[in-house]
Structure 1
Amino acid sequence: MGELTTEDTSAFHIAPWMHVTTGGGAPLDQLLPTSGRVHVARLSGKDMVDEVSTFQQFSESLKFPEYFGWNWDAFYDCLRDLEWLSSDYCIVIVESADEVLADDDDAREEFFSALWRAGKQRSYTKRPEGVTLSTISIVLSCSEKSSATFAGQLGERFKNR
């Protein structure tokens, strides 16, 4: 896990559940399930300037329950669960993802770690094919200029997790 693969310069695949794209998007066949109900959440990294604004965006778009604790552990717990959405699959698109929590390195680490861990938790290996599938896809969109560096940083950060 955590290997950086790319089919072209517009989409980098960090893991089966995490993709970095330049806005041209990752191919839909890699994001959408073959069947079932899908919930799509589209968020703006430019508006995630602090923890509160980050939690607010996710809480609104993913309809976090009232008991959401507004901390990183609760954030991860909600991402891992998502049962209240009544969907089989969830796609989270974060535009300008390279700008998320840009002035708070600790919170930024917590944020991407929670996304990674939730994706990993919601993944499974299909047998006998041995293909890893996930009930969540995290699409992190950023500028073409920063996409390779951003994807490389994420791949390096999570390669052994």
Structure 2
Amino acid sequence: MESEVVTTKESWIPIKPWLHVVGPDAQMPTKSLLAQPGLTFTAWLIGSEMRDTDGVFQQFWDGFKLPDYFGWNFPALNDCLRDLSWIPANQYFLFIEEAHAVLHEHPEEMREFFDILSRVGAKWSYVKHPEGTEEARFQIILGCSKERLSNMTEILQD
């Protein structure tokens, strides 16, 4: 039986199978995001608290309980998110609310940050099960205002 997807094109934009941009009125495609059996880890970060790199690293430090050896820079964030050995889980969800505010006044750092997230999602995805189904093990959902939805989509598709 096919799962029903309840969404509108304007409010739920899949960039990659593991990376989605959503507007304030988005409804999730249930089958693609339901946690699979096993342990699931969820981090909910706030983009308006991530206006500079210190804010980004603090949100990830708190949300992912990063290890003490975290270096508070982008290469260290990339390394930690590609490892996640301190968080034993079968599936990871990263929600960033107000994602349009992340490093908004620092375009080069913003692109580097979102590139890291995309590469991390690619690294963790996909798991192919014996019955033939595939799932992304690291889902990234970026929530943003309706006014910033198309801009955010453009940034991520570059």
Q: TM-score, normalised by structure 1?
A: 0.84
Corresponding residue for residue 111 of structure 2? 109
Q: Deviations over 1:54-95 (max 9, x none)?
A: 001011111110001111111011111112112111100001
Q: What are the within-5 Å matches in structure 2 for residues 47-86 of structure 1?
A: 47-86=49-88
Runs of 5+ unmatched residues, structure 2: 1-6
Corresponding residue for residue 3 of structure 1? none
Task: Return the alpha-carbon distance in structure 2 between the equivalents of residues 99 and 57 of structure 1.
Answer: 13
Corresponding residue for residue 120 of structure 2? 118
CA 58–11 in structure 1, closer or farther in 2 if over 3 Å, else same: same
Corresponding residue for residue 135 of structure 2? 133
Higher relative contact order (CA 8 A, sep 6+): 1
Q: Quote the offset at 1:7 in angstroms.
A: 5.2
Task: Return the alpha-carbon distance in structure 1 between the equivalents of residues 114 and 103 of structure 2.
Answer: 10
Runs of 5+ unmatched residues, structure 1: 1-5
Please say if residues 122 and 135 of structure 1, whose CA atoms lie closer than 8 Å, have aligned partners that are also in contact: yes
Q: Aligned residues: percent identity?
A: 37
How many equivalent residue pairs?
A: 151
Q: Which amino acid aligns with 1:142?
A: C
Please say if residues 48 and 101 of structure 1, whose CA atoms lie closer than 8 Å, have aligned partners that are also in contact: yes
Q: TM-score, normalised by structure 2?
A: 0.86
Q: Which amino acid aligns with 1:107?
A: E
Superposed CA RMSD in Å reads 2.0
Q: Quote the offset at 1:11 in angstroms.
A: 0.5
